[in-house]
Homo-oligomer: A and B are copies of this chain.
Amino acid sequence: MIEKGLLIVLSGPSGVGKGTVRKEIFSQPDTAFEYSISMTTRLPRDGEVDGVDYFFKSREEFETLIEQGKLLEYAEFVGNYYGTPVDYVRETLDAGKDVFLEIEVQGAQQVREKFPEGLLIFLAPPSLSELESRITNRGTESSELIRRRMQAAKEEIELMDLYDYVVENDHVTAATSRINAIVIAEHCRRERVSVRYKKMLEAE
């Protein structure tokens, strides 16, 4: 009786530092996550290995997989497709391993629709809480600057509404340890644990 893994999706506004946090998480020697390998139509760069860095596919193959619903999420950037193969994710979760995805906000929206039980974590820029403390402490900035920043903050906060958790990226190690805490906590959720125990009793 294997307990299914969690799908952990890290996303957030571009430039917030998702890639840096993801690298930090996978540099931990005791990381318990499986990294989901993306699929792409761009050509391999020197040293990149198919099935390790990416699954490399032709445009035709990729579009066939889209039609067959074989991508958990995908997007097109500068003429190339990038996406997450759903079979790999499902197989890894079924094997009881947590899968970690780092994707753009549009992708996170697709995951929410196709895989509602996914754990969506929004990586928030520290500028938000900086703005908060500046407003609270009445700084000396020009009102035009504050106004522009507030507009940007509003857009970021609206993006959050889709997510389960918000982690501020004030520092990469702090953000990483919050993400680890979230995953530990999710494994302790009563619905998860009691279902496991109840199955054990039924199995007898």
Contacts and interface: CB of A to CB of B under 8 A. Distances in A.
27 contacts: A122-B190, A124-B193, A131-B200, A132-B196, A132-B197, A132-B200, A136-B200, A150-B204, A153-B197, A153-B201, A154-B201, A157-B197, A157-B198, A160-B197, A163-B190, A164-B189, A165-B185, A165-B188, A166-B188, A166-B190, A177-B184, A178-B184, A180-B181, A181-B184, A182-B185, A182-B188, A185-B185
Interface in A152-194: 153-154, 157, 160-161, 163-167, 177-178, 180-182, 184-186, 188-190, 193-194
A190 B154 contact: no
A78 interface: no
Given A132-B196, A165-B189, 6 more contacts: A124-B193, A131-B200, A160-B197, A178-B184, A181-B182, A182-B188
Interface of A: 1, 122, 124, 128, 131-132, 135-136, 146, 150, 153-154, 157, 160-161, 163-167, 177-178, 180-182, 184-186, 188-190, 193-194, 196-198, 200-201, 203-204
A204 B160 contact: no
A160 B203 contact: no
